[in-house]
Structure 1
Amino acid sequence: MAAMQLARLPGPLAGTVHIVEPRPAPGPGLAYTARRPEYLLNVRAPFLSAFPDEPSHFSDWLRTNAISCEHDFCSRQTYGRYLQEMVAGLLHQPAANGLTFHWHPQAAVAAELATNVRHATVRLANGTELLSDAVVLALGNFPPASPARPGDYLAHPNFHGNPWAQGALRNIAPDDEVLLIGTGLTAVDVLLGLRADGHRAPVTVVSRHQRWPTAHGPASTPYPSFYEQELRGLHTVAEVLAAVRHRVREATAAGWDWRPVFDSLRPDLGQIWAAWPLAEQARFLRHLASIWAVLRHRSPPQNDEIVRGMMATGQIRMLSGRVSGIAVEGEGLMVQTHYRQQHHSMRTRHVISCTGPLLNYSRIQDPLVVSLRTAGYLQPDTLGLGIQTDAHGALLDAAQQASPLFFTLGPSRRPAYFESTAVPELRQQAVALAQELRRRW
C-alpha cells in the first residue's frame, strides 16, 4: 500500500522504489498468501479498498473479475490476488509521476547509515546493497512467541509454532489428536482448515478465558460518532469504559445493535489511546485488551456458525488454563497446563500455537530488526507493542530523536495507535507516509 501511494504522488518525480519482498510474489504478504478458500477476511468487502479516496475500488475489482463472496466476506486468497495485481501494475512500467518500481525477491538482513549519514544502506540476503534516501519498514506481523519455555519441542515436526507458515498443518492426519493454543481469529482459521482437510478427531483448545471472537452482525447503518461530545479529554480507562457503556445502553434502548456503536469509535481509537498516560495504557492491556479483541475483531457469521457447530458435536473440547510446558514424547508431545491452582497434563499428537503475532521488538530475532536494534536506530516501546516513532512514523533513537531515513507503518506502530493492523488503518498510514516522504524529497 505504501508503494501504491508513492506511485500516486503528484509528479514529476525521479528515482526508484525498491520493494524488498522474499515471498513468491509481492503484494499478498503473510496474511493473504495462504491458498485456502476457507480462510476468510473478517471485514466485509465494501470496506477493504486499498485506496481511501476510492472506497469502492475492491468491490469494483470483484465485479470486474466476476467474483462473489458469501455475505460479502471474501477469502484471504482473493484479497491477496487483488493486492498482487495492484503491485504487478507498478512493476510493469513507470508510474505516471515518473517513479520506477523494482522488486527484489530477497530478504533484507541489515540496514545502516551510509558513510555520509544522509543515506541508508540496506543489505539483502544475496549480498546486494541498496543505497536509499529513505527506508520504510513494512514488516507486518511476526510469528507467535513460543507458548512455553524453549525446548526440543520447537524443532519437532508436530509442533506448529506458526500456523501461517507455508505447508503448515499438512502433516496432520484425519485421526491425529490436536491441541490448539488460543481462541482468536487465527484459531478459527485453523479449525476451518482442519475441517476442510477432513480432520475427524476431537481438537482440544486451551484458553485462559475461553472467549471466541464475536460474530459480525448484519450490515447496518453507521452509528454517529460520539467521540467529541463524550470521549475527548478523558484520560483514564475507567472514564472511557463508563462513557462507552453508557452510550451502548442508550443505543440499545433506542433499537441499535451494540456493534455499530463500537465501530463508530474506530476513527478515533488512536486519539483515545494517546490520551491515556502510560500507566493507563498498561492497565488496559492487563484487564481489557483480551475482551476488546473479542468484541472488536469479529468473525464472519458463517465461520462462527461452523465453530459453534463443532463445539456442539464435541469435536472441539475446551480446556481452561495457560500452557506451562511442552515436552517431546516419542512421536507426540506432552503438554502441561495450569488453571488457578490446578495442573493438567495431556499427551497429543500435534500442538498448534494460535496465540497471535509476536509484537515485542526487543524479542524479535529477524536479522534486519536485530541489525537496526543493535545499532540503536530502532527502539522497542515500553509496553512491548511495537516500535517507538514520531507522528510521521519516523523511528526514534535512544535519545528520542526522529530518524530522517528510517520509517515504519503497520503493526509496528501499535504504540502510537494501539489499533494498527487492519486495512482501513493501514491505507491511511500509507497515504500519510507517502505524502511525508514527498515533502522531505
Structure 2
Amino acid sequence: MLAVQLARLAGNHPYPCDVHLVEPRPVPGPGLAYTARRPEYLLNVRSQFLSAFPDQPDHFQNWLRVTSQEVCEHGFCSRQSYGRYLQQLVSQLLEWPSMNGIRCYWHNQAARAVEVSPSGSSATVRLMDGTELPSTYVVLALGNFPPPYPTTSSTEYRAYPNYHGNPWAQGALRNIGTDDTVLLIGTGLTAVDILLGLQADGHQGLVTTVSGHGRWPAAHQFEGATYPDFYAADLAGVDTVLDVLRVLRRHVREAQKQGIDWRMVVDTLRPHLGQIWATWPQPEQARFLRHLAGIWSVLRHRSPPRNAAIVAAMFAEGQVQQAIGRVKNIEPAANGLVVTVQKGQQPVQQLTAQHVITCTGPLLDYSRIQESVVVGLRETGHLQPDALHLGIETDAHGALLNATGQASGVLFTLGPSRRPAYFESTAVPELRNQAVALAQELGQRLRVTVDAGI
C-alpha cells in the first residue's frame, strides 16, 4: 500500500527516485494474510470498508464487480479475492513508471541486513543473493511474525512433525488426517480460520480448543440503528482505563434503552482508538493490556456471521470441545502430543492429540524477533523495542527511534510494528491511512532533497 501511495504522490515536478520492493513471496501484494487459496477464509471486515484508497471508498467494491463472480454474503468476501486485488495494484506499479516519475522494482527474495551509514543520512539494504541497494529511505513493512512458542518448559515438541507452530506456513496443516485428533491453542480469529479449513477439508476427528478465558470472537451484526459518536463530548483527554470503561458502559446502557446493539457503540470509537490509547500514560496502557486486552479483542475483532455459525454448529455436534486454562507443558508421546493445561490453582489436565496447532496470534515483541534484519538493527541501536513489547519505538511519522530517543532520518516503519503508537495497527482501514501519511511525509522529504539540488 505504501508503494501504491508513493506512486500517487502529486507535485509540480517528477520525483527522481526508484522504489525497491523486497518481497520473497511468489507474488508481491497479497502478503501473508491474503495468500491462502482457500475460499472459506473470509475477510473479517465487509468489502465496503476495504478500499486501498481512503479517498476512493468504493474502489475495492468496484474492482469486485468488474473482475469477480464471487457472491459476498453480508459483504464478507474471501481473502484470496482481496489478495488478487492487492496483487493487481502492485503489478500495475511494476509494469510502467507512475505519472510522477517514480519507478517500482520487485526483488523476489528476502533482505539479509540493513546497514545505516556512519552519518545516518543513507543506508544499504543487502539481499540474500548479495545484491546491494543503496537507499535514501528504508521502510520496514514487515507485517506479522509467527506466534511465539506456547511454553518454554520443554522444547522437544518444537521439532515434532505434528506440532504446527505457524498455522500460516505453506503446507503447515496438510499432514492432518481425516480422523486425526487436533488441539488448538487459542480461540481467536486464527482458531476460527483453522476450524473452517478443517471443516472444508472434511475433517471428522475430535478438535479440542484451549485458551485461558474460553471466549470466542463475537459475530458481526448489522441490523438496527447506528449510535452517535461520543468521543469529543465524553472521552477526549480521558487518561485512565477505568474512566474510559465507565463512559463506554454508560453509552452501552443508553444504546440498549434505544434498542441499539452494543457493537454500534464500540464501532463509533474506531476512528478514535489511537487517540484514546495515546492519551493513557504507560502505566494505564499496561493496565489495559493486563486486564482488558483479551476481552477487547473478542469484542472489537469480530467474525463474519457465517463463520460464527459454522463454529457454533461444530460445537453443537460435538466435533469441537473446549478446555479452559493455560498451557504449561507439551511433550511428545507414543500416541501424539501430551498438552498439560492448568486454570489458576486448579488441578492440571493432560490432553492428548495427534496434532497441536498454535493459534495465539503473532509475536509482537521485537526484543525476541530473530529475523536477521531486525536483529542487526536492534544490535546496532537503530531499532528499539518498546517497553510494553508491542512493537517498535517511533516518532509521529513512523521514523525509528534510537536508544537516546532520536528519530532516524532514514529508517521508517508502518503496520503492526507501530502498535506502541496506536495499539490498533493491523486492519486495512488503519494500514491504508498509515500508508497515505508516510507516503506524504517521504514525498515532502524528497521534494526538499530535489529543491536543495542533492
Shift of 1:223: 2.9
> Which residue is 2:212 aligned to?
208
Give yes or no for the alignment of 1:419 onto 2:448.
Answer: no
| Correspondence for 1:175 among 174, 179, 186 | 179
Shift of 1:142: 0.3
> Which residue is 2:293 aligned to?
289
Letter in 2 for 1:72: G
Give yes or no for the alignment of 1:435 onto 2:429.
Answer: no
Distance 1:279 1:429 in 2: 26
| Correspondence for 1:119 among 117, 122, 135 | 122
Checking the alignment, whether the CA contact within 8 Å between 2:219 and 2:305 is kept in structure 1 is yes
> Which residue is 1:274 aligned to?
278
> Which residue is 1:253 aligned to?
257
> How far does the alpha carbon of each residue in 1:224-264 deviate from its partner, in whole angstroms, 9 at most, with x for none?
21111000121100000000110111122112111111111
> Which residue is 1:3 aligned to?
3
Please state whether the residue corresponding to 1:19 is helix, strand or coil.
strand
Distance 1:116 1:248 in 2: 54
Please state whether the residue corresponding to 2:420 is helix, strand or coil.
helix
Letter in 2 for 1:303: N
Shift of 1:5: 0.4
Checking the alignment, whether the CA contact within 8 Å between 2:125 and 2:132 is kept in structure 1 is yes
| Correspondence for 1:379 among 369, 372, 384 | 384
> How far does the alpha carbon of each residue in 1:382-418 deviate from its partner, in whole angstroms, 9 at most, with x for none?
0000000000000000000000000000000000000
Give yes or no for the alignment of 1:161 onto 2:157.
Answer: no
Distance 1:405 1:283 in 2: 34
Question: What TM-score do you get using the length of structure 2 for normalisation?
Answer: 0.96
> Which residue is 2:25 aligned to?
23
| Correspondence for 2:41 among 39, 47, 54 | 39
| Correspondence for 1:397 among 396, 402, 411 | 402
Distance 1:74 1:355 in 2: 24
Unmatched 5+ residue regions in structure 2?
A: 447-454
> How far does the alpha carbon of each residue in 1:280-332 deviate from its partner, in whole angstroms, 9 at most, with x for none?
00000010000000000000000000000011111111001111111122362
> Which residue is 2:452 aligned to?
none
- Stretches (4+) displaced over 4 A: 219-222
Letter in 2 for 1:434: A
Checking the alignment, whether the CA contact within 8 Å between 1:109 and 1:371 is kept in structure 2 is no
Letter in 2 for 1:226: F
Unmatched 5+ residue regions in structure 1?
A: none
Question: What TM-score do you get using the length of structure 1 for normalisation?
Answer: 0.98
Distance 2:248 2:120 in 1: 48
> Which residue is 1:357 aligned to?
362
Please state whether the residue corresponding to 2:348 is helix, strand or coil.
strand
Please state whether the residue corresponding to 2:193 is helix, strand or coil.
helix
Larger displacement relative to structure 2 (335-344 or 411-420): 335-344
> Which residue is 1:91 aligned to?
94
Please state whether the residue corresponding to 1:317 is helix, strand or coil.
strand
| Correspondence for 1:51 among 40, 48, 53 | 53
Distance 1:351 1:45 in 2: 33
Distance 1:391 1:15 in 2: 24
Checking the alignment, whether the CA contact within 8 Å between 2:386 and 2:420 is kept in structure 1 is yes
| Correspondence for 2:133 among 102, 127, 130 | 130
Checking the alignment, whether the CA contact within 8 Å between 1:113 and 1:121 is kept in structure 2 is yes
Distance 1:382 1:116 in 2: 28
Letter in 1 for 2:165: G
Distance 2:391 2:116 in 1: 22
Checking the alignment, whether the CA contact within 8 Å between 1:42 and 1:299 is kept in structure 2 is yes
Checking the alignment, whether the CA contact within 8 Å between 2:120 and 2:408 is kept in structure 1 is no
Distance change >3 Å, CA 221–CA 440, structure 1 → 2? farther
> Which residue is 2:341 aligned to?
337
Query: What is the aligned length?
Result: 441
Distance 2:423 2:375 in 1: 23
Checking the alignment, whether the CA contact within 8 Å between 1:138 and 1:409 is kept in structure 2 is yes
Distance 1:35 1:76 in 2: 8
Distance 1:159 1:239 in 2: 43
Cα RMSD after superposing both structures: 1.1
Identity of paired residues, percent?
A: 64
Checking the alignment, whether the CA contact within 8 Å between 1:161 and 1:353 is kept in structure 2 is yes
Shift of 1:117: 3.1
Distance 1:395 1:268 in 2: 24
Checking the alignment, whether the CA contact within 8 Å between 2:148 and 2:363 is kept in structure 1 is yes
Distance 2:224 2:65 in 1: 22
Distance 1:369 1:409 in 2: 14
Distance 2:101 2:438 in 1: 19
Give yes or no for the alignment of 1:197 onto 2:201.
Answer: yes
Letter in 2 for 1:216: H
| Correspondence for 2:73 among 70, 90, 94 | 70
Checking the alignment, whether the CA contact within 8 Å between 1:147 and 1:353 is kept in structure 2 is yes
Distance 1:2 1:221 in 2: 35
Distance 1:265 1:220 in 2: 18
Checking the alignment, whether the CA contact within 8 Å between 2:186 and 2:209 is kept in structure 1 is yes
| Correspondence for 1:406 among 404, 411, 416 | 411
